[in-house]
Amino acid sequence: MKATVHVTLKNGVLDPQGKAIEHTLSGLGFKGIGDVRQGKFIELDIAEKDKTKAREQVDAMCRQLLANTVIENYTIEIIE
């Protein structure tokens, strides 16, 4: 089974990287760009066959390593 995880900064948390992207885009001539927020995308294979259990596993991974839950949110998708 495959799992994908999106990790994004919580609303209201400053995103210096997003700010840098926005700034560079406007430097490259892209007009009307605003509020760029960036995050990370993680894809992994899991041996677990049960979808619910797989989600639980990935959820534990997110809490312990993949996301910093103090400032980040995450969403998990399990793909069979």
Partner 1 sequence: MSKITPEIVAEHGLSKEEYQLVLQIMGREPNITELGIFSVMWSEHCSYKSSKKWLKTLPTEAPWVICGPGENAGIIDIGDGDAAIFKMESHNHPSYIEPYQGAATGVGGIMRDVFTMGARPIANLNALRFGRPEHPKTRHLVHGVVEGIGGYGNCMGVPTVGGECEFNKSYDGNILVNAMTVGLAKANNIFYCAAAGIGNPVVYVGSKTGRDGIHGATMASTEFTEDSEEKRPTVQVGDPFTEKLLLEACLELMQTDAIVAIQDMGAAGLTSSSFEMASSGGVGIDMNLDNVPQREQNMTAYEMMLSESQERMLMVLKPGKEDMARAIFEKWELDFAVIGTLTEPDADGNGHMVLYHKGEKVADLPINPLAHASPEYDRPWVPTPKRETLSPESVAAPTSIMGALKTMCGGANGSSRRWIWEQYDHMVMGDTVQRPGGDAAVVRVHGTQKALAMTSDVTPRYVFADPVMGGRQAVAETWRNLTATGARPLAITDNMNFGNPQRPEIMGQFVGAVEGIADACRALDYPVVSGNVSLYNETNGTGILPTPTIGGVGLIDDVSKTVGIGFGGVGQAIIIIGETHGHLGQSQYLMEIIGRDGLAMEDGAPPPVDLALERKNGDFVRGEIISGTISACHDVSDGGILVALAEMAMTANIGAKIEDVSGQLPLHAWGFGEDQARYIITTSNPEDVLERAEKSGVWATLVGTTGSGELTIGDEHSISVAELKNAHESWMPDFMSHPEAH
Q: Closer CB to partner 1, residue 17 or residue 51? A: 17
Among 10, 40, 51, 53, binds partner 1 (CB under 8 A): 10
Binding mask 37-66 for partner 1 (x = CB under 8 A): ---------------------------xx-
Among 19, 25, 36, 48, binds partner 1 (CB under 8 A): 19
Rg of the chain taking only CA atoms, in angstroms = 16
Q: Do residues 39 and 7 touch, judged by C-beta distance below 8 A?
A: yes
DSSP class per residue in 32-64: S------EEEEEEE-----HHHHHHHHHHHIII
- With a CB cutoff of 8 Å and minimum separation 6, the contacts of 10 are 71, 72, 73
Q: Closer CB to partner 1, residue 50 or residue 56? A: 56
List contacts with partner 1 (CB under 8 A).
Answer: 9-16, 19-20, 23, 64-65, 68, 70-71, 73
